[in-house]
Structure 1
Amino acid sequence: MNQDMQIHQSFRQRPLMSPGVVHSMQLLSMPYAALIPFLSRMTLENPLLEMESSAEDIPLDLVETEQEGEPLKSGNRGESLPGQESFETEEEILRLELLLSGYPGEIEETALVILGELEPNGYWKGETKELALRLAVPESAAEEALRAVQSLKPAGIGARSLSECLALQIDEQMKDASLLRRLVMEDLPWTAGNHIRQIQKKYGIPAAKAKELVACVRSLNPYPVDLTDRRQGGAYVYPELRVHVKKGEARAELSRRAESLVSVNENYLPEVLEEMLDKEGKEYLRECRTRALELMGSLRLRDRTMEKVLMEIAACQKDFFQYGFSCLKPMTLKQLAERLGLSTSTVCRCVQDKYMETDFGVIALKELFSSQVKAEGAYGSGAAARAAIRSILEQQGEDYSDRQIAELLSQQGIHISRRTVTKYRNAEKLLSRSGRRQHGN
């Protein structure tokens, strides 16, 4: 009897997580390394789940632990969302907030891509026009998606500049909101330099009001969020996919399966403990079993979906896997989704923060998706243009300007503007002509 009570009480120490937490959509969004702490916590909350030895190849410092009765930390946010305790990173909380907002499919899918591209400080360095080309959506949809991201809390998420970040934090209910926003967007350096007299003169306000505005601007947060935990520390990358070329064929496989991380412990099934549990205890275990089986089903679905996407990528990009980025064909998330009969958001979740092993190193899946550039009457990928720019600079010296590079590319059948060359060169972290000359000296 005493043993019965002890078992009964220990089963009730931790509440079960909500059913939505094990939804396939959320698991699909998580990179392999993020699954470990998530599933580790699930095993703490469900006595029928246990971690398998396949999880041991992830460093222990990636697995968050919690003190008895204390929830895992979820960042320094002031607001709580339904199910927030279930997500291990600030990025997951932002995704949940976005998904709960009820945006139309195309907007939601595009916004999820933007979320995945945020810098660690919450800024977005992209352009809506380029994003629209890459995802094959209208530019208006990309702009609306950015507004959706910028509406998330804390205010300032998705800003493209410091001024925009601060402006997003100015609430309409704040005193002098329109004046503050104008000051931030037009004359931010004046607030940093405490140029009260210039502010007085331009805005026609007394010194006291100018000082009040400056103080208000300085109270805003230039870095409203910390996403450095988005990959559980950022230093670890665990490719869960593998593509190797053998006899001219790209062979694809999952190198790490989510399903292998946990299992259902048969020793705690209600029928096994028939003599030891009362009616309430048996019902609790049945509920635990239902949740455990739901989770296992979701993990299996995650693996199957990832495998399906990977196989199609390998088939579409076999030249890339054999010869490298110069042979990467233009491909958008939407195009791949249509080939597979999946939604774009599903493919987006498969790609975001996922890595694969190839014969020439580990790469992020998102690198395989790029906008199109005009190439000899057909279209090539932006990645191929970037590879060509790198080749020109590495093989032909430092004396070419971006305009001259554009002309050389045109001779190779790749027609892009000087401005696009600059953009791609910066993306490849290659110096400008003046920078190369200075570095050479």
Structure 2
Amino acid sequence: MAHPRQELQARAEQRMALRPSMLQSVRVLRLSAADLEDLLEREAEDNEALRLRSDFRSARGRAPDREAGDRHRLMLESRPAPEGGLRAELEEQLVMLDRTPGERAWIRLCLDSLDEHGYLSTSDEELLDLGLREGLGADRGALARAIATVQGFEPRGIGGRDLVEALLLQLDPAAPDYPALCRLVEEFLDEFATRRLGPVAEALGVEPAELERLGGLLRNLDPRPGAGLGGETAARVIAPDLVAEPGREGWDVRVEGSLLPSLEVDPASARGAWPATLDPAERRWRAARGERARALVEAVRQREETLLRVARAALERQRAFLERGPGHLVPLSMGEVAERLGLALSTVSRAVAGKHLQTPTGIVALRALFQVSGGSEGVATPGELGRAVRTVLGDEDPRRPLSDEAVARELAGRGLVLSRRTVASYRRKLGIPSSYRRRRA
């Protein structure tokens, strides 16, 4: 019979073994094909246990242009990165904090969940589920404190749940312009970005010259505070993730340029076949690198499998769209597909986000297959849209009010695709203040 201490250690090791695959699956699923390629290249450069075969880029018909990519990254860098990258800098800030082991575990879980922009876009429910699996419990208070800690790290904006919150975190609450800047970010970001300044100045009650001054302050903010976690990718032509083609018995769907055949884990790492003279610390380090590589390859496999399942389920309903065009889309929500496939709604939403489908008539966003009614968002009645926005806001945690962008994401997960600007418009019509004002109420 195993000693209780040994059993506890075994369970802890099992939880740690789960962690890489869970986190990698969440990250990889939401990436577009182009971003996934870039991630794999960075991982292969950093981890010798992951190998990319010579045909890696040619699998998707594109040759690497490292020189151009390097020039692009250098052009976009706005500040020097510390040795070891931003992730190392964040870890250094954590080390300096006086926290219990449990608190540190929650903070690290949040840091590990940051996306390539530095946003903590993973929902609280998913983070709590990860915490539960790692033996931290489903402690909402501990999670909230961990998020608040991460959002206090440098660079400012890290840990924001979306673009709006990342910008708000960079503002100084003690500054006299704070209320006006908050309103600009919360309510008029789209108008400001497209230079529709007249209505914005009128709504804020300021002169155009004052609005220009405020805009100058906004332009000093970083919309992607976590760029050092990943790296910028050069602008490129949209490449499809999936291809739909007519087959013998209907429509065939396949992953375009599957990357799996081009990935492999170093054989020695896979077998744990290292020299007998290797010291234990080096063995553990190499084993961890091998596990990280295996988790990433498995995440890519799961991504392709999930993409195929979701696309096939959607296209079974949207066959008329493939054969006759966009005017023949039928009502379909992500929730319906999630229920049919036995997947979480958030999984379907990630599988759809940023993905594109090649059809005989051209490339379309996979999200276009999901409509609350046939056609565009405008086909739903204004009353239905307003009720949907009110429902989401009515369910929010009062301690963490949802931004308009977060509401738009939630609605998209329910199959109702609205822009952030449209959400803001309906929110104002409903007489609901911005998340900034709800937070301070």
TM-score (ref. length: structure 2):
0.52
Aligned residue number for residue 220 of structure 1 = 217
| Distance in 2 separating the partners of 1:54 and 1:249 | 31
What's the secondary structure of 2:121's corresponding residue? helix
1:242 aligns with 2:270: no
Alignment correspondent of 1:292: 293
**Aligned residues: CA RMSD:** 4.8
User: Following the alignment from structure 2 to structure 1, what is the Cα–Cα distance between the partners of residues 207 and 269?
Assistant: 64
Determine the C-alpha separation between the residues in 1 that align with 2:81 and 2:269. 22
Q: Deviations over 1:366-422 (max 9, x none)?
A: 1212232xxxxxxx3338979xxxxxxxxxxxxxxxxxxxxxxxxxxxxxxxxxxxx
Q: Is the 8 A contact 2:272 2:287 kept in 1?
A: no
- The SS at the match of 2:274 is coil
Q: Unpaired runs of 5+ in structure 1?
A: 1-17, 106-151, 196-213, 373-379, 387-422, 424-441
Deviation string, structure 1 residues 345-372 (Cα, Å, up to 9, x no partner): 1011111111111111111111212232
Match for residue 121 of structure 2 among 95, 98, 102: 98
Task: Output the CA distance in 2 between the equivalents of 1:371 and 1:230.
Answer: 35
Which secondary structure state, in structure 2, belongs to the residue aligned with residue 296 of structure 1?
helix
- Residue 192 in 1 paired to residue 215 in 2? no
**Mapped partners of 1:193, 1:277: distance in 2:** 68
Matches within 5 A, 1:48-127: 48-57=49-58, 58-61=62-65, 70-71=83-84, 89-90=116-117, 93-94=118-119, 97-99=120-122, 102=124
* Partner SS for 2:343: coil
Spell out, residue by residue over 1:258-317, the C-alpha distance to the aligned partner (whole angstroms, 9 max, x if none).
433421111455654334523333332222222222222222211211111121122111
Paired position in structure 2 for 1:211? none
Equivalenced residue count is 289
Tell me the SS of whatever aligns to 1:30. coil
TM-score normalised by structure 1 residue count = 0.52
Moved more, 38-47 or 170-179: 170-179
- Provide the C-alpha distance between the structure 2 equivalents of 1:24 and 1:156, rounded to a whole number of angstroms: 19
Within a 5 Å distance, the mapping from 1:358-437 to structure 2 comes to 358-372=359-373, 380-382=374-376
Please tell me whether the aligned partners of residues 167 and 223 of structure 2 are also in contact (alpha carbons under 8 angstroms). no
Residue in 1 that maps onto 2:354:
353
Task: Give the secondary structure class of the aligned counterpart of 2:56.
Answer: helix
SS at match of 1:235: coil
Give the deviation of 1:247 after TM superposition.
Answer: 5.2
| CA displacement, residues 109-165 of structure 1 (integer Å, 9 cap, x when unaligned) | xxxxxxxxxxxxxxxxxxxxxxxxxxxxxxxxxxxxxxxxxxx93789656xxxx99
**Structure whose CA Rg is larger:** 1
The farther-off stretch of 241-250 and 265-274 is 265-274
Structure 2 stretches lacking a partner, 5+ long: 1-18, 75-79, 95-106, 128-155, 185-199, 381-421, 423-441
1:135 alignment counterpart: none
User: Counterparts of 1:287 and 1:249 in 2: how far apart (Å)?
Assistant: 45
Q: Take 1:72 and 1:331, find their aligned partners in 2: how far apart are those partners?
A: 43
Matched residue SS, 1:193 = helix
**Counterpart-to-counterpart distance in 1, 2:370 and 2:34:** 23
Counterparts of 1:243-262 in structure 2 under 5 Å? Answer: 243-246=244-247, 249-262=250-263
Quick check: 1:243–1:252 contact (8 Å CA) kept in 2?
yes
Q: CA deviation at 1:234?
A: 3.3
What's 2:157 paired with?
153
1:259-338 paired onto structure 2 within 5 Å: 259-268=260-269, 272-338=273-339
What is the aligned partner in structure 1 of residue 31 from structure 2? 30
- Percent identity at matched positions? 22
Cα pair 1:50 1:262 within 8 Å, conserved: yes
Q: How far off its partner does 1:104 sit?
A: 8.2
Distance (whole Å) between structure 1 residues aligned to residue 256 and residue 176 of structure 2: 56
